[in-house]
Amino acid sequence: MSETTTATTELTSQYSAQVTGDLERNLKEQERLSDEIQALQQQLASLQQDHTVLLNIQQALGLPTVPAPREKAAAKPVAGKQARKKTAAAAPGRKGAGKKSSAAATSPSALPTLVDLVREHLAGQSEPRSAAEVTTALAERHPERTVRTTVVRTTLEGLVAKNQAQRTKQGTSVFYTTSDTASPATPAEQSPESD
């Protein structure tokens, strides 16, 4: 019976030590996550403040307005509204259907995409350009658009992934040029004609 009691005591000690260690790790992880959440909340507050300042500047300059950021929960109802608008615009005989389709023709989607603008800019350059240089050039050529360096860098990396641009590294800087195979042939163009 003394062996059973000793084994039980040792087992209880092991479990106790394990639980104590798990609790300490849990508390440390909670603190770490709380710190991260607090830092992200501060970043969000800063971005919201910047957004307000930029909106005020935009209004003062008389520039077209940019829609407010969407809430994730509101994404589904918006999609439903868009689907209803498309249905209403396509339905014959409904009032305002012509207005909606003409508004769609002049929507921002008629503007060239950032990918097209970046690709076109690189094609016109004789030397490699950094993402910051591409951003500056696009912002000067297209003042109506908001062009961010991070988005341009992501776009450039996407072009590199599609073999439509090349990346070169010089020290800690990364530069981009158009690829020799900027427009890869589609499979239909690659296959010989059978006619």
Under a CB-based contact definition with an 8 Å cutoff, are residues 153 and 114 in contact? no
Q: Which of 101, 90, 141, 102 is nearest to 120 (CA)?
A: 141
Please state the pTM of the whole predicted model.
0.39
How far apart, in Å, are the Cα atoms of 38 and each of 30, 44, 179? Answer: 12, 10, 43
Tokens matching residue 79: 């999609």
Cα 154 from Cα 140, distance rounded (Å): 19
Tokens matching residue 14: 């092991």
Three-state SS sequence of the chain? CHHHHHHHHHHHHHHHHHHHHHHHHHHHHHHHHHHHHHHHHHHHHHHHHHHHHHHHHHHHHCCCCCCCCCCHHHHHHHHHHHHHHHHHHHCCCCCCHHHHHHHHHCCHHHCCCHHHHHHHHHHCCCCCECHHHHHHHHHHHCCCCCCCHHHHHHHHHHHHHCCCEEEEEECCEEEEEECCCCCCCCHHHHCCCCC
| Per-residue model confidence (pLDDT) at position 136 | 93
| Per-residue model confidence (pLDDT) at position 150 | 92
pLDDT in tens, the chain (195 residues): 577 888 888 889 999 999 999 999 999 999 999 888 998 999 899 899 988 888 888 888 877 766 666 665 544 554 555 555 554 444 444 444 444 444 444 455 567 888 999 999 999 998 999 999 999 999 999 888 888 999 999 999 999 999 999 999 988 989 999 876 444 444 443 444 444
| Per-residue model confidence (pLDDT) at position 189 | 39
Cα 177 to the chain's mean position, in Å? 23
Tokens matching residue 43: 């970043």
| Per-residue model confidence (pLDDT) at position 180 | 67
